[in-house]
Amino acid sequence: MMDQISVLFIDLDDTVYPSSLNIWPFFMERIQSYLREVLGIEQEDTVALQHRLFLQYGTTLRGLQVEYGIDMHEYLDWVHSIDLSAHVFPDPELRKALQSLPQPKWIFTNASVAHAENILGLMNLRDLFVDIIDVVATSPYCKPQPGSYEIALRLAGNPQPERCLFLDDRSDNLDTARKLGIHTLQVKPVPDGKHPSISHLIHLPDYLRNNNHKKSI
């Protein structure tokens, strides 16, 4: 029931905006250009390196910090320096849906505050969120590491985990939240089947009205 949930933690990329926008390839190219131009990685090795670091550390950033000692802020500025104004637009229906929810809403992302501010600004949603918990705020952790969630809970005022709902497109991120006692909801057109799911964030109000979250623990 809606009154069981007092705080909403919502992922950004492929969650607030749908994966159908297909903007992830832009970031992939920026990551690979960083590997080539800043770290001197050969072109033919960049994709495999990025993939390994992502799987091993949760984000390419964390892997590069551990293995190459890179500067976090330089990397985030490089990767997110993309003009998305031709791809991301205001979403009045999503805004209305989120406005209808009484719970405080926090963005909880492995990206940067600047990137989240850009996306939310383009979608005209920024004022609906209390704040943005980004990968800098959760350092040295990132999703799906438990420490990242513990920091997010603390930054949100230490709500009881069982009174929180975490939304993300990735099952591995949701898995950790569930282990910590946080209710989970996957936002994905074709869900993995491991967590309750909705196809688009716009359906969140209906989900909260119609579901008992005890089954997602």
Give the domain CATH number at 41: 1.10.150.450
Average pLDDT over residues 133-140: 96
Which pLDDT band, with edges at 50, 70 and 90, does 3 fall under?
low
The reply to whether 72 and 135 lie within a common domain is no
The reply to whether 146 and 73 lie within a common domain is no
Count of structural domains within the chain = 2
The reply to whether 203 and 101 lie within a common domain is yes
CA distance 14 to 49: 23
pLDDT digits (tens, 9 = 90+) for 66-121: 999 999 999 999 999 999 999 999 999 999 999 999 999 999 999 999 999 999 99
The reply to whether 71 and 98 lie within a common domain is no
Percent of the chain with pLDDT over 90: 94
Domain span holding position 67: 24-79
The reply to whether 138 and 182 lie within a common domain is yes
The pLDDT of residue 181? 97
pTM above threshold 0.85: yes
Give the domain CATH number at 137: 3.40.50.1000
Asked if pLDDT for residue 214 goes beyond 50, the answer is no
CB 178 within 8 Å of CB 147: no
The reply to whether 10 and 38 lie within a common domain is no
CA distance 145 to 156: 18
The reply to whether 146 and 178 lie within a common domain is yes
